[in-house]
């Protein structure tokens, strides 16, 4: 266990340095932030002064060393656009993104598990096909289209739910549904496929011959067996999920890190970009660590191997 934690911690450090370095050079290749800050009427002198005040007149090596130093102390400097320390800005918005992602993820699992099992068990029935049709639809439509559709129906026509922001308690519903739709659909299809595969295994036949009820076989045995490959997929999806949240946040004006990151890219706000990517990288690596630990909990074979 300690070895796993240690290796993940090492991985976290390497990932952060790797991503940070890549980002450092990529954003600098993209152009000069002084131009974006100065605006279209600024004088050349003004632009030069801004570059100097931001330390952008130093050599790229000097800037990189200073960046690495900042990375160690988690001090990414002040955002060029917000004139505030970058990391606190990110940390202020991050809980909103995490809340949205968590609810959406939970929703995807809560819907996909029974829907996938149902579609597998009732694979030849009309209702089973309807479930699969919905899952195909959910997987084909981008989250922002689903978001706009939900807004039109539930905010504009029915006026049941707020269309933007996170002030009301019900504000979470539409963004989380929009964000979870693709995942929900994907997991429903995968759970169905894994479930069908497991249904033909010997242990299922044995269970049946021993007189176990179907729900017992499904939920206690099959579900446990398919949860290992599902967890692998979840680990891969978590990174993508944060990316999807950025788009959904823009549609619902959800005050997460999405809008901050989009603005940071537009304005070439290096400190904010670096702090944001750092936070996301840490989050993804930590979530993957949790997934790894869950493997140990769920699968005794992996536990035995580690021990």
Partner 1 sequence: MTRHFEIKNKFLGVFLSLSLALSLFGAINAAPSSAAVSAAGTKCSTLNVQDYVNGTALVCATNSSGAKVWTKYFTGGAGGTVTIGIGALPATLEAYAASAPPRSYVVAAIYSGLTRVDLATGTPILMPNAADSWAQEKGRPEVWVFNIIKGKEFPNGEPMNADAVKASLDYVMNPKNNAGLRAKVLDITKIEVASEYQVKITTSAPRYLLPRTLSTIPILPPKLFAEQGATTFWKNPVGTGPFKATSFTPGVQLTLEANPYSLRVKPSASKIIFKVIPEDSSRMAALRSGGVDVVTKVPTDSISTLKSANFDIKSIVEPATYIMSLMAKSGALSDKRVRQAFNYAVDKQALIDGINGGLGQVAEAQLIPKGLTGFCNSVTAYPFDLAKANDLMKAAGIPKKSLNLTFQSSTAYITNDVLMAQAISQMLEKLDAVNSVKVEVLEFSKYLDVYYLRGAIPRKDLFAWRMSSSPDLDALVQMERYTTGYPTSNIGYSNRNYDVAINAAAALDVKSTARTARLCKAASILKEDAPILWGIHTPDVWAGNKALERLAVDAGGNIDLVSIGNK
Residues engaged in binding partner 1 (CB under 8 A)? 30-33, 35-36, 38-47, 49-50, 53, 78-79, 81-84, 89, 144, 147-148, 151-152, 155-156, 159, 162-165, 250-253, 255, 259-260, 262-263, 266-268
First and final CA of the chain: distance in angstroms? 8
- State how far the Cα of 183 lies from the Cα of 132, in Å rounded to an integer: 14
Rounded to a whole number of angstroms, the minimum distance from the CB of residue 151 to partner 1 is: 4
Residue 253 or residue 294: which is nearer to partner 1 going by CB? 253
Q: Choose between 138 and 162: whose C-beta lies nearer to partner 1.
A: 162
In degrees to the nearest 10, what's the CA dihedral of 211, 217, 221, 226?
Answer: 150
Neighbours of 96 (CB within 10 A): 18
**DSSP secondary structure, 189-239, as one string:** HHHHHHHHHHHTSHHHHHHHHTT--HHIIIIIIIHHHHHHHHHHHHHHHHH
Asked if residue 76 lies in contact with residue 275, where contact means CB atoms within 8 angstroms, the answer is yes
CB of 47 to partner 1, least distance (A): 8
Q: How far is the CB of 159 from partner 1 (least distance, A)?
A: 6
Nearer to partner 1, 151 or 183 (CB): 151
Which residue's CB is nearer to partner 1, number 193 or number 265?
265
Q: Which two tokens stand for residue 230?
A: 């599902």
Which of 68, 152 has the CB closer to partner 1? Answer: 152
CB of 71 to partner 1, least distance (A): 23
| Residue closest to 203 by CA, chosen among 228, 226, 232 | 226
**Nearest distance from C-beta of residue 42 to partner 1, angstroms:** 6
> By C-beta, is 187 or 270 nearer to partner 1?
270
CA angle 209, 211, 214 (to 5 degrees): 100
């Amino acid at each position: 266990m300690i070895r796993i934690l240690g290796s993940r911690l090492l991985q976290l450090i390497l990932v952060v340095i790797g991503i940070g370095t890549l980002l450092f050079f990529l954003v600098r290749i993209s152009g000069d932030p002084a131009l974006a800050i100065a605006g279209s009427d600024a004088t050349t002198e003004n632009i030069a002064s801004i570059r100097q005040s931001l330390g952008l007149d130093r050599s790229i090596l000097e800037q990189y060393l200073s960046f690495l130093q900042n990375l160690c102390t988690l001090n990414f400097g002040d955002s060029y656009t917000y004139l505030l320390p970058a990391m606190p800005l990110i940390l202020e918005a991050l809980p909103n993104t995490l809340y949205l992602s968590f609810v959406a993820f939970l929703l995807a699992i809560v819907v996909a598990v029974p829907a996938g099992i149902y579609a597998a068990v009732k694979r030849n029935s009309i209702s089973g096909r309807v479930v699969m049709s919905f899952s195909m639809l959910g997987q084909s439509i981008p989250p922002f289209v689903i978001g706009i559709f939900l807004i039109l129906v539930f905010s504009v026509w029915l006026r049941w739910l707020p269309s933007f922001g996170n002030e009301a308690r019900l504000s979470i519903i539409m963004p989380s549904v929009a964000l979870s739709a693709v995942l929900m659909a994907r997991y429903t299809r995968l759970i169905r496929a894994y479930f069908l595969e497991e249904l033909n295994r010997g242990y299922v036949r044995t269970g049946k011959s021993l007189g176990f009820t179907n729900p017992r076989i499904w939920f206690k045995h099959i579900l446990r067996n398919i949860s290992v490959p599902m967890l692998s997929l979840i680990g891969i999806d978590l990174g993508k999920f944060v990316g999807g949240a950025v788009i959904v946040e823009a549609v619902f004006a959800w005050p997460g890190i999405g809008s901050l990151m989009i603005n940071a890219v537009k304005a070439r706000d290096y400190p904010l970009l670096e702090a944001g990517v750092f936070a996301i990288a840490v989050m993804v690596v930590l979530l993957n660590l949790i997934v790894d630990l869950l493997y140990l909990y769920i699968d005794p074979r992996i536990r035995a191997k580690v021990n």
